[in-house]
A and B are shown apart, each in its own frame.
Chain A
C-alpha cells in the first residue's frame, strides 16, 4: 500500500493522521460503482413491468371500454363478441372463497408462530411453511383435484367448481399470509406485549387488544399479497375449476365452475383468432387494473383501520 507522507497537521502537532490519497480516491469510485449497480438493478428489474403494461395497452386498447367489463362473452369462437364479465365475477368468487380459508388459517398460524409457539416447534412449522410456498402451483392443482373435485379424497366431490378452485387457491394463499403475519407481529416492539403481560393480561388478551391492533397494517399487507398471488394463478384452476363462459349457478357441482381472468388469457391465447388474442391483451390490462385498485384499496383500508383502532 502506498502510504504517503501527507498528513493533516491538525490537533496535537506531535501526532499525525496518515492520509492515503489513493485509497480515498478509490473508495469514492467504489461508492459510485455500488450506486450504479443498485440503480441499474432496479431499472432492469422494473423493465418487465413497464414492458407488460406498455405492450398490453398497445395491443389491447381497442377493446378497452365499459362493454368489455360489463358483458358476457358471445359469438364464435366464444368471446369474439362481448366482454369478460364471467371472468371478473369468477375472480371475485375465487378470491372470496380462498380468503375465507386462508385469512383465518394464515393469521392464526402467524400469530401462533410469533406469540405462542415454542422455539423448536416453531422452526419445524416455519420450515414446512416455506416448503408449502415452494410447492409448484400445478401440484396444488392436482391435490385440489383429488381432495375437492373427485370423490376419491375426503369425499367432498365438489366437481369442477368455484368451491374446489377457491379452496385450492386458499391453500396456496395460507403460507404466504402466515409468513407475512408472523413478520408483521415481529416488527412490533416486544415492550408492547411485555407491558400488557406485566399488568396481568393473558397472552390472548395481549394479542387481541394490543398486538393485533398494532400489527393491523402489516396483517392487511399480508392478506393483500396473498390475494395478489392467487389472482394470477392458472395451473391450480386447470384441475379444479377450469373455466365457465357464463355466470355460475352455484359454487359446487355442475354450473358451479366460474370464469377467471388469468384462465381466460390462457384460453384466448390458444385460440386461432386474432380477435381473441387482442382481447387477451385487453384482459391483461383489466387484470393489472384490478391488482392496482386492490393494492390502493387495501392500503386505504389498512390506513383507515389503523387510524380508527388508535382510538380504542
Chain B
C-alpha cells in the first residue's frame, strides 16, 4: 500500500506545490515497544479541510498530536521522520514549541473549557503570550466569539463561568479559544463526538466557513460528516495510512479494498 500512498501524494504534488501547508515525511511513532504510526507520508493543502478516518485505536489521534508536538509529553515515546510546516521541520531543535502551538491550534474531543469565565477562557491564549493591552484583548475576544458563532448567545454573560454553557456552546467556546491566538492550522480531534445532532451541525457549518482562514485537519470516525465537509480524506488502519485522496474520489472510487470496506460500514 505504500505504492498507493506515493501515487496519491504525487497527484497532489503535481497540482501545485506552493499550496502545501503541512508535509509529513516518513513519520514513525513508537510508544514503548508498540509501533503506533508506520511510515506516514502525506500532504495537507492550504485552506482546505482534511479528514482522517479510521476505526478506534488506529493511531489517528496520535497522528494529529504529532502535528503540534503534543506527544512530547508522552513518556517513552519515540518519533522519527519529518513534519514540515510551511517547509520547516517542526521537530528541528530551532523550533519554539510555544510559537508552534500558537500557530497550530487544537480542539479536543470533549469540550474542555477552563474553570474560568467565558471571557477569560478566550483571553487566556492572548495572556499567555504576553498581551496586556485590555482594549485589544476585549476586541479580540469579541471577534473570536463572533467567528465561532457564539457571541450573540453569551454577550450578556461573558463574566459567568464557562461551565454554565451547554455542551455544544462549550465546544464552540473551545474553538473561539483556539482561534484567539490567530493560528494558521486548526487540528480537531473528533470535535463533535460528544455533541447532539443540532450542535454537531452548527460546528460542521463553522468548519466549512473557517476554510478561508485556516487549514483544518479533523480526526473522525463519522464517515457521513467527513464526506460532507472535507476536501481531502485519509484512511488509517493499524497505524498505516491506507489511502489519502480528494474526498470525491475517496468516497466514490476508493482504490483500496479496506477503504471501501470501511466507508461502506463493514468494519
Contacts and interface: CB of A to CB of B under 8 A. Distances in A.
B98 interface: yes
A140 B99 CA distance: 48
12 contacts: A195-B108, A196-B128, A197-B101, A199-B105, A199-B106, A200-B181, A210-B114, A213-B116, A214-B114, A309-B115, A310-B117, A312-B117
B116 A310 contact: yes
B66 interface: no
Contacts of B159: 311
Contacts of A201: 98, 124, 128
> When A and B form their complex, which 9 residue pairs have the shortest distance between CB atoms, in order from nearest?
A191-B112, A200-B101, A198-B106, A200-B102, A201-B128, A200-B98, A199-B125, A195-B112, A205-B128
B75 A118 contact: yes
A310 B181 contact: no
Interface in A80-132: 118-119
A311 B121 CA distance: 10
Contact of A310 (B75, B97, B105, B161): B161
Nearest to A312: B120
Interface of B: 68, 70, 73, 75, 97-102, 105-106, 108, 110, 112-117, 120, 124-125, 127-129, 159, 161, 174, 177-178, 181
A55 interface: no
Contact of A199 (B110, B117, B120, B124): B124
Contacts of B100: 200
B124 A198 contact: no
A75 interface: no
B142 to A, nearest CB: 18
A209 B127 CA distance: 10
Interface in A180-233: 189, 191-192, 194-202, 205, 209-210, 213-214
A201 B112 CA distance: 15
B110 A198 contact: no
A311 B113 CA distance: 14
B105 A198 contact: yes
Contacts of B174: 195
Contacts of A196: 114, 124, 128
Contacts of B120: 311-312
Contacts of B70: 194, 197-198
A119 B76 CA distance: 10
B73 A197 contact: yes
Contact of A200 (B115, B116, B128): B128
Nearest to A119: B75
B115 A310 contact: yes
Contacts of B105: 198-199
Given A119-B75, A213-B115, A310-B115, A199 B108 contact: no
Nearest to B72: A197
A194 B108 contact: yes
Nearest to B163: A310
A199 B128 contact: yes
Interface in A129-163: none
A202 B99 CA distance: 11
B112 A189 contact: yes
Contacts of A189: 112
A312 to B, nearest CB: 6
A197 to B, nearest CB: 7
A240 B181 CA distance: 56
Contacts of B110: 191
B207 to A, nearest CB: 18
Contacts of A205: 128
Contacts of A312: 116-117, 120
B15 to A, nearest CB: 31
Nearest to B174: A195
A311 B117 contact: yes
B68 to A, nearest CB: 6
A209 B128 contact: yes
A202 B73 CA distance: 12
A101 to B, nearest CB: 30
B22 to A, nearest CB: 16
A303 to B, nearest CB: 14
A118 B128 CA distance: 25
Given A196-B124, A312-B117, 8 more contacts: A119-B75, A189-B112, A194-B108, A195-B177, A200-B128, A210-B115, A210-B116, A312-B116
Contacts of B115: 192, 210, 213-214, 309-310
**Which of A191, A199, A311 neighbours the largest number of chain B CB atoms within 10 Å of its CB?**
A199
A310 B68 CA distance: 29
B109 to A, nearest CB: 9
Nearest to B113: A195
A46 to B, nearest CB: 34
A192 B117 CA distance: 14
Contacts of B101: 197-200
Contacts of A192: 112, 114-115
Contacts of B116: 210, 213, 310-312
